[in-house]
Amino acid sequence: MKNLILLILILLFTFTSLNAQEIKSVSLIRTNNKLYISAELDKNIPEEIFEYLHDGVRVTIVYTINIYKEKPIFDSEIKEILYKKKVEYSFRGKNYNLIDGKEKVIIFDKKEINKRLIMIKKVFLIEEKKLGDGKFYLEIKAALESVQLVPPFSWIIDLFGGVRKFETPWVEKKIK
């Protein structure tokens, strides 16, 4: 019995660690006293997520960005940004409907939708004059926040192990 539990734990650890996502690059862009961010995940979206999309499920990936000011004891959070990418598959048009922040896009190619989901480009963070003096940094992470199913299907999926979700570890980047 102990061997069976150990085997299940090893398989579970192997399965989750092989599919772990991380943010591989973060770049800051300064334009007209405004600060923007671009970031990219290191791996493609898992094939299982595309299977859910083709089954009619809506998927949301959330990029969380926190800006902090360094202080002697506790750093203070200046701003939190939640940048969402929502995608669903249209059976009529055989296309993906993507809401990328505030932009709505129709994409027909699976490679293109994958590329759009794993990166954010030039997302506005803050005006540099609002930062003022001092040292600042940001933290960013990405998470597959929701795979939206209609009950009772959501309950059944959760009962049998749920939908594989991912959440990247926080990545820190100095601002100034």
Tell me the C-alpha distance between 100 and 113, whole Å. Answer: 11
Domain extents in the chain: 22-174
Give the global pTM. 0.79
Q: Which two tokens stand for residue 113?
A: 């939708």
Report the pLDDT value the prediction gives residue 138, as an integer from 0 to 100. Answer: 93
CA neighbor of 120 nearest in space, from 172, 82, 88: 82
Q: Which helix (H) or strand (E) holds 5?
A: helix 2-18
Residuewise pLDDT in 10s, the chain (176 residues): 555 444 444 444 434 443 578 898 999 999 999 999 999 998 888 888 888 888 888 888 999 999 999 988 888 899 999 999 999 999 888 999 999 988 999 999 999 999 999 999 999 999 988 888 889 999 999 998 766 555 665 566 555 555 556 788 888 888 87
